[in-house]
Structure 1
């Protein structure tokens, strides 16, 4: 048994009983977009029901979940999840032209990860150059840009070597993620290995070039955390940027920012540390108070003290007996609370 289905402003098509609106539209040559492949995991095939809402099958569990999250009204349906039961249904596609496609998902990024936005558990990696401002003020613009390119090149090579993905750069630092194509344990291992490789390669670069020619030494601060984040592409035709957002990203960024006060160039959350198969030696551990974060975070210091930066006394970790009560020692954003070794 078949029915007629009217796509307002486009054409009237035939749809079989039990056939989804999406499949019928595609069979009729209507370029109905469906980024998730028609599995009810995105909203790009949604339609506005103009007539005959009661003549459609009820929302599936997948559609109900999506409609609840997006607060869709009853007359918005997912074409991939909806079938026609009777004659007299009229609908309108909501993503119909190239402008709409650029806003939601464009052809360039159709095969990339996170195209429509998805929840993933990733290792989050932040790194920033320390002691850069004095160098910037004392040297020519050409030298500043040249050395920064070399340093960012070191970062990039190490991150790519361990299958990380650079998400953003800002000034003399960057933000990367690991785990887009691996398990969270593998991702955390890779993030830590990439960090140690950067520290080693930067040391070589300092000794062979920066110190001899510029009488300067660059140091970095690295912060690593893990957590569930939203991965998606927010390009609108001007760029095709993969974006990773979420509360754990803020934690990772703050861990990196706290490295100077803690006088250690590599700080990792205890949550991430426990995922490591062969965890490196931890110089110390404790609980870190972070601005805007209600709960203190347990962290591990797995790097080395800075050579050219004096750490703030309030940022030092205090040793204590096993399982001591938490005792706040300061109110600074990167201050530590007593914790066990």
Structure 2
């Protein structure tokens, strides 16, 4: 005799002996997500147990490991690991479509992060200069190899100073500092990470790129600070962490302005004032940023580019 599980709002399905809740729901035609193939290595099949929790088998070692990381309450179970020993079980799937990634399942502190929270962070953008000529002159696997080496330099510096990479795009990336510190320390860390990248890239050019590939790279870095929205909305890196807001756009514009200002590291005056031990600045400048009404005050704390960068035509819009 099978037991039955009521999937709230969907259907009541039979569960044969030895079947997991996931296997039973799939057999009944419920489109139950299971990204890892039902092996207990993801959380996409998780269900909220509304009734009959005592009729389920105890959590497996996979569930316990995930719970330690995700801090799920006891009534959230992995369907692929849960078997039914009696009737009266009612569950609710927590992931029902591609946009419904995270559901508010209780009033825990972590669940408030689903909706996002305002935080003051240091925002860090970096982009590789003169990468296209290298791609044009190199074999594809050489390009991939060098890209990995350069991004390792970026990642090591950012993580050393407690930064978090939010996303990568092409030959650049976006990171934030201050998720675990005050804003002054965050600004200091962002600058130290940027300066380390410049120094490490110079060593990489001299010891590896010049002798083996007859090429060198330069980067452009932009740093700004401001209040942004931080949330786990499923569209970024770092466990789906996303950071959005107007200051993010400013930081991206500052990185782009490194070409115009002929300096590898541009930081907003607002961020520069937070630094306890500010680095040498080549000067203060006011620049017009796309989409920003007033001229923006910035500091140049990098160096002029050694390679002449191509001029970018102004945006006609």
Interval of TM-score (by shorter of Structure 1 and Structure 2): 0.5 to 0.7
Structure-1 residue corresponding to 2:93: 97
1:260 Cα deviation after fit: 1.1
- Counterpart CA distance in 1 for 2:284 and 2:188 is 19
Cα distance, 1:179–1:204 mapped onto 2, change above 3 Å: same
What TM-score do the two structures reach when normalised by structure 2? Answer: 0.65
Cα distance, 1:162–1:257 mapped onto 2, change above 3 Å: same
- Counterpart CA distance in 2 for 1:112 and 1:185 is 28
- Residues 241-264 of structure 1, C-alpha deviations (whole Å, 9 max, x = no match): 110000000000000001011100
Cα distance, 1:263–1:112 mapped onto 2, change above 3 Å: farther
- Counterpart CA distance in 2 for 1:230 and 1:106 is 18
Unpaired stretches in structure 2, ≥5 consecutive residues: 1-7, 10-47, 54-91
1:234 touches 1:240 (CA, 8 Å); kept in 2?
no
Structure-1 residue corresponding to 2:73: none
What TM-score do the two structures reach when normalised by structure 1? Answer: 0.61
Structure-1 residue corresponding to 2:209: 210
Cα distance, 1:304–1:114 mapped onto 2, change above 3 Å: farther
2:95 touches 2:103 (CA, 8 Å); kept in 1?
no
- Counterpart CA distance in 1 for 2:134 and 2:206 is 16
1:106 Cα deviation after fit: 7.9
Structure-2 residue corresponding to 1:265: 264
Question: Between Structure 1 and Structure 2, how many residues are aligned?
Answer: 227
1:240 Cα deviation after fit: 4.1
The alignment partner of 1:275 has SS state of coil
Structure-1 residue corresponding to 2:285: 286
1:224 touches 1:267 (CA, 8 Å); kept in 2?
yes
Structure-1 residue corresponding to 2:190: 191
- Counterpart CA distance in 1 for 2:196 and 2:144 is 23
The answer to whether the aligner puts 1:123 opposite 2:122 as a matched pair is: yes
- Counterpart CA distance in 1 for 2:287 and 2:112 is 33
The alignment partner of 2:114 has SS state of coil
Unpaired stretches in structure 1, ≥5 consecutive residues: 1-7, 10-25, 32-95, 316-330, 334-341
